[in-house]
Amino acid sequence: MESLNTAAGKGTFSRRSVLTASGLAVVSAAFLTACGPGGSAVPQASSGGSGAPAKAGGTLRIARPPASKAETLDPASSLSAYEYLGAIYNRLVRLDENGAVQADLAESWETSTDALTWTFHLRKGVLWHDGKPLTAKDVIYTIEHMLDPETKSPQAGVLAPFISASSATAKDDLTVVVALTSPNAEFASLMTGYNCYVIPAGSAATIGKTGIGTGPFKLAAFTPAGPGQIVRNDAYFGDKPKLDAIEFSSIPDTQARVNALLAGQVDLISQTNLDYATSQTVMASSVATVSSVKNAQWYTVPMLNSSPEFKDPNVRLALAHAYNPKDVMQLAVHGNGTIARNNPVPPTEAYYLDYGLDYDPEKSKSLLKKAGHDSLSLDVWTSTYDSVLTPLALAMKGSVEGSGFTLNVKTSAADSYYTDVWMKKPLMTSYWYTGRPVDQLLNQIFRSGSSYNENAYANPDFDKILDQARATVDDAKRKTLYQDAQKFLIDDGGSLTPFFADRLVGLSKKVAGYKEHGFEFDYINIGLAG
């Protein structure tokens, strides 16, 4: 999410542009619903613009929100141009839709009984785009590059606690051995992150521009925050992509991206969760449609545990019981999502525990009393950074009426939301892309002292469960431990998560075979309808 949040969001949505976007939505929705073929249906989950399989060949045009002029093709960097990565690179391993680890460049992998030593066996005959063969050296270099402080890779913080720069060694040309500094039975899943794409040995200085990978597409052109093109790699080791080429264009303004789609200038707009009104406009159009990616957006209301307001777990639990998630989800995203009951782990995850805190205003009042408050008035901060954040804050405010809480919605400028509000204000709205493996999610966002710990949640007992889980090689036992961790976190008021929302993606009716989950975009099967 790192780069997604930053990239997609930060630089690109100004208050004005969102105002503009809603302007478009209102005006054009009014027009189109007046004369269009009844545009009031809720967008349905589907796997592409057109149901037909994609034909071979053709060029797909994707409009993307650029991160900034500092964009790079270095996958380890937090400034990476996200859309290119999955097309031009491969990782050792990747995640499937159910959160299970699958082979990519590594054909197979195993861990020692103490979860300290991992061995990855690389696929034979994989070629880089420049024709050189992939070897263990490249993988080792990639790990070193990710951990180098100068790279400032967000994944470094995830891996650093149990790995060092000298951890990875080559047993032979196609075998990589990683000796961890502390046991981790989930190491493979942590190598599925989108910062973990493998780059050629010695390429740190050049990879940002050359984009030499092993992936299904080769780089033809790339301009930071500008246009770019990738073409099919006929030497790719896996199934060949349907498309001949993909053209990327960078359009920072959300409304401009939607306009480009409606005018038929682009075929898909990436990293853009359409607000409901705009999705209706797109659905009513004759050239474009909306596809929803199930539970792709995790919406949460972090309570800063280090603040005087939320120090007491009773207050956190009281707030978790004070709102009705059904109403909140209906109001904020027109019901397009799944109720989370304050569990931050999405229900599609392999380790998901079906447990949570439900709406109970009486319980909320008694918990609040236990914490020494008859009633509590709090500011909840939001911004137009994402189209759902403000509706979410307003829905929460409405829903807690009748409990002991009163929420006042405060709005901050979108471009300083993550510097001024995030991890600074006691109560705010926030969102992430789902798709992190459970171990990364719990460690990165809830472990004491983690730099993405937006709740400032710190409980050594919780950290201990995570350590135990990492040291447990037995799959069933480890799963139980991650579920224990979820229950512990929820019961400690560690997360306020009303719902997971479906991402509404705008795409042309000509697009076939569009599929995306988590941080995985299917570049092989996407194409144009025959």
Partner 1 sequence: MLTRFVIPRLGWAVVTILLATLLVFGAMQALPGDAATQILGQNATPEAVATLRRQLGLDQAPVERFISWLGHALSGNFGTSLVSGQPVGPEVGRALVNTAFLAGITIVVGFSLALVLGLVAGLCRDRWPDSLISTLALVGMSIPEFIVATLLVLAFSITIPIFPAVVVAGQNASITELLPAMPLPALSLMFVASAYIIRMMRTSVIDVMETDYVHTARLKGISTTRLVLKHVVPSAILPTLNVVAMNVAWLIGGVVVVESIFNYPGMGSLMIRSVQSRDLPTILLITVIGAMTFVVCNLLADLAATLLNPRLRHPRNAK
In the complex, what is the shortest distance from the CB of residue 159 to partner 1, in angstroms, rounded to a whole number? 14
Residue (9 or 493) nearer to partner 1, CB: 9
Helix (H) or strand (E) holding 470: helix 460-471
- Residues 6+ away with beta carbon under 8 Å from 220: 228, 229, 230, 231, 245
List b or e across 399-431, with b for residues whose CB sees 16 or more CB atoms inside 10 angstroms.
bbeebbbebebeebebbebbeebbbebbbbbbb
For 184, list phi and psi in degrees, rounded to 5: -150, 105
Helix (H) or strand (E) holding 298: strand 288-300
Cα 73 off chain centre by: 18
- What are the structure tokens assigned to 173, written together? 């040309």
In the complex, what is the shortest distance from the CB of residue 55 to partner 1, in angstroms, rounded to a whole number? 23
Q: Does 17 bind partner 1 (CB under 8 A)?
A: yes
Restricted to residues 18-47, the positions that interact with partner 1 (CB under 8 A) are: 19-20, 23-24, 27-28, 31
CA–CA distance, 159 with 109 (Å, rounded to integer): 18
- Binds partner 1 (CB under 8 A): choice among 97, 420, 474, 475: 420
- Judge whether 226 and 242 are in contact, CB under 8 Å: no
Degrees to nearest 5, angle at CA 117 with 112 and 120: 95
Restricted to residues 117-156, the positions that interact with partner 1 (CB under 8 A) are: 149-150, 152, 154
- Stretch near partner 1 under the rule CB under 8 A, chosen from 91-99, 136-144, 222-230, 366-374: 222-230
Residue (269 or 407) nearer to partner 1, CB: 269
Residue (60 or 174) nearer to partner 1, CB: 60
Residue (351 or 431) nearer to partner 1, CB: 431
Q: Does 419 bind partner 1 (CB under 8 A)?
A: yes
**Binding letters toward partner 1, positions 452-491, x by CB under 8 A:** x---------------------------------------
Residue labelled with tokens 């027109």 = 334
- Binds partner 1 (CB under 8 A): choice among 2, 138, 186, 467: 2
- Binds partner 1 (CB under 8 A): choice among 39, 161, 252, 347: 252
In the complex, what is the shortest distance from the CB of residue 53 to partner 1, in angstroms, rounded to a whole number? 27
Specify the amino acid at residue 3: S
Q: Does 448 bind partner 1 (CB under 8 A)?
A: no
Q: Does 158 bind partner 1 (CB under 8 A)?
A: no
- Binds partner 1 (CB under 8 A): choice among 14, 164, 175, 229: 14
CA–CA distance, 65 with 85 (Å, rounded to integer): 15
In the complex, what is the shortest distance from the CB of residue 338 to partner 1, in angstroms, rounded to a whole number? 24
Q: Does 63 bind partner 1 (CB under 8 A)?
A: yes
CA–CA distance, 284 with 373 (Å, rounded to integer): 50
Side-chain half-sphere CA neighbours of 519 within 13 A = 29
In the complex, what is the shortest distance from the CB of residue 314 to partner 1, in angstroms, rounded to a whole number? 30
Restricted to residues 264-283, the positions that interact with partner 1 (CB under 8 A) are: 264-266
In the complex, what is the shortest distance from the CB of residue 239 to partner 1, in angstroms, rounded to a whole number? 30
Specify the amino acid at residue 384: T
Q: Is 206 left (phi over 0), alpha (psi -120 to 50) or beta?
A: alpha
Helix (H) or strand (E) holding 29: helix 15-35
CA–CA distance, 529 with 525 (Å, rounded to integer): 11
Binding site for partner 1 (CB under 8 A): 1-3, 5-7, 9-12, 14, 16-17, 19-20, 23-24, 27-28, 31, 61, 63, 68-70, 78-79, 149-150, 152, 154, 157, 223-227, 249-253, 255-257, 259-260, 262-266, 285, 415-416, 418-420, 422, 451-452
